[in-house]
């Protein structure tokens, strides 16, 4: 087992494709539908109905707000396809990510983003069926076992234990 002073460097690359995004979503989201998730949609729909009842000549705004409520409800109900579609039309879709794990932390490099998660900034590490969720504050990053070697995974867990 490596200690804190020993040099460690792990580097790999993977593609942000539909398979990767789907795994990220499955491993990091809560699939249960609750009424709380629909509050914004309900609010928009009711606001649209209220605007319709107000006597004015132009109902475009009312219908727009109503449709926003319906669209928001659909985005909650069909959360995974909605999220996957947004990821697949982003500029980072199908781009190659280089993952580097060393003494500084976990670094991801791509054409658009270079991001370093320092070991001391990590609040929590959660193991999932297919990878690791690394929490920094309220945000999480997902690392899939499909591109993590066993020794890299062990090194991450060791660094988390040392820095907590």
pLDDT in tens, 10-50: 999 999 999 999 999 999 888 788 899 999 999 999 999 99
**Contact assessment for residue 155 and residue 101, using Cβ atoms and an 8 Å cutoff:** yes
Count of alpha carbons within 13 angstroms of residue 145, beta-carbon side: 10
What's the DSSP call for residue 38?
A: G
* pLDDT value, residue 5: 54
Q: Measured in whole angstroms, how far is the alpha carbon of residue 53 from the centre of its chain?
A: 40
Residue 115 lies in a domain: yes
Q: Domain residues for 74?
A: 35-88
pTM: 0.77
Tokens for 134, please give them.
């690394």
Residue 23 lies in a domain: no
Same domain, 107 and 156: yes
Query: What span, in angstroms and rounded, lies between the C-alpha atoms of 13 and 148?
Result: 10
* pLDDT value, residue 69: 96
Query: What span, in angstroms and rounded, lies between the C-alpha atoms of 36 and 122?
Result: 29
Task: Indicate if the pLDDT at residue 3 is higher than 60.
Answer: no
């Amino acid at each position: 087992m490596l200690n804190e002073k020993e040099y460690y460097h792990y580097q790999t690359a993977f593609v942000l494709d539909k398979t990767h995004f789907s795994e990220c979503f499955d491993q990091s989201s809560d699939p249960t539908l609750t009424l709380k998730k629909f509050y914004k949609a309900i609010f928009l729909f009711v606001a649209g109905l209220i605007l319709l009842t107000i006597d004015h000549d132009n109902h475009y705004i009312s219908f727009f707000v109503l449709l926003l409520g319906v669209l928001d409800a659909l985005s909650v109900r069909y959360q995974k396809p909605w999220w996957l579609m947004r990821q697949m039309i982003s500029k980072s879709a199908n781009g190659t990510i280089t993952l580097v794990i060393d003494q500084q932390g976990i670094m991801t490099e791509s054409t658009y983003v270079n991001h370093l998660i320092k070991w001391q900034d990590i609040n929590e590490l959660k193991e999932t069926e297919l990878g690791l969720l690394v929490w920094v504050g309220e945000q999480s990053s997902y690392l899939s076992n499909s591109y993590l070697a066993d020794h890299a995974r062990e090194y991450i867990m060791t660094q988390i234990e040392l820095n907590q």
